[in-house]
Every structure is written in C-alpha cells, then in structure tokens.
Amino acid sequence: MPQGRTWLWWAVAFIVAGWLLWMTLRPNQTVAADLAPLTESAGKQGIPTPFLIDFAGNIAVFVPLGAALALALRGNPLARRLLLAILGGAGLSMIIELIQTSIPSRVAAVDDWLLNTLRVFLGAVVACVVVWRNQRDQRLETGD
C-alpha cells in the first residue's frame, strides 16, 4: 500500500467511529425510527429486527473499523498493528458502553463490549493477513 493512502484509512476509521458514536449514543427510539426503512423491509423477509441491528449491524461496522485501524497503522510490525487496532476498537466500544450507562433508553452490557472487540479483532486480522500476503508476494517477486 503506498504511503500516501494511510490518511485514507485513518479517515475511514474516524468516519466509522463517528458514525458509531452518533448511532449508539442517541435514544433507542430515535435510532429505531432512523433504521425503520431497513428493518421493516428486512422484517418482511423474516429477518428479526434485533438480529439485524444488534448482530449484523455491529458486524457491518466493527469489522471494517478493525480493518481500517490495522491498515492506518502502517509502518508498524503486523503484530503491533493487530494489537493497536484491537485496543483502539475495544477502547471505543468501552467508551460507548460507559456513556450508554447515563442514557436512560440505552443499555450498556459487557457482552456487547466483548462481541464488538471480537468483531474489531476479526477485521484487523483480515487486514493484517492481506498486508502480510502482499508483503510476501512482493518479496517473492523481488527474490528477497
């Protein structure tokens, strides 16, 4: 990955983090109303709303967050990228859960934090594997 694209991955990570904060720190009723067009059509297909929002929605956000953080941490060894990306995502999820304790319509839960951290881990692992394979392929091409 060219050095000039590192800023792009940081931008993706910050956009995803901002969106997460915006979605998770508002009252449940407001979020449900915003997501109604998606959840209603999915409900007609037999997909339960809690599954769509809590499970699939968090996967769709925390996995890319982990990948973007791992890619943004260019210049670090892969193991360090992985660790820092996981810590960053786990930290953001912990902040969200802690703030949610003060919002009456939200529920903070340790299992949410654990699952979100796992999702960040999965995204970071995928990104690190892609980087590792690219580095390996470049070494093979140059004979190093």
What's the confidence (pLDDT) of residue 129? Answer: 96
Distance from C-alpha of 33 to C-alpha of 110, rounded to nearest angstrom: 26
Contact (CB, 8 A) for 75 and 65: no
> Average pLDDT by consecutive 10-residue portion of the chain (144 residues)?
77 96 88 86 85 82 97 94 97 96 90 95 96 89 78
- In 3D, which of 13, 108, 104, 24 has the Cα closest to residue 65? 13
pTM of the model: 0.87
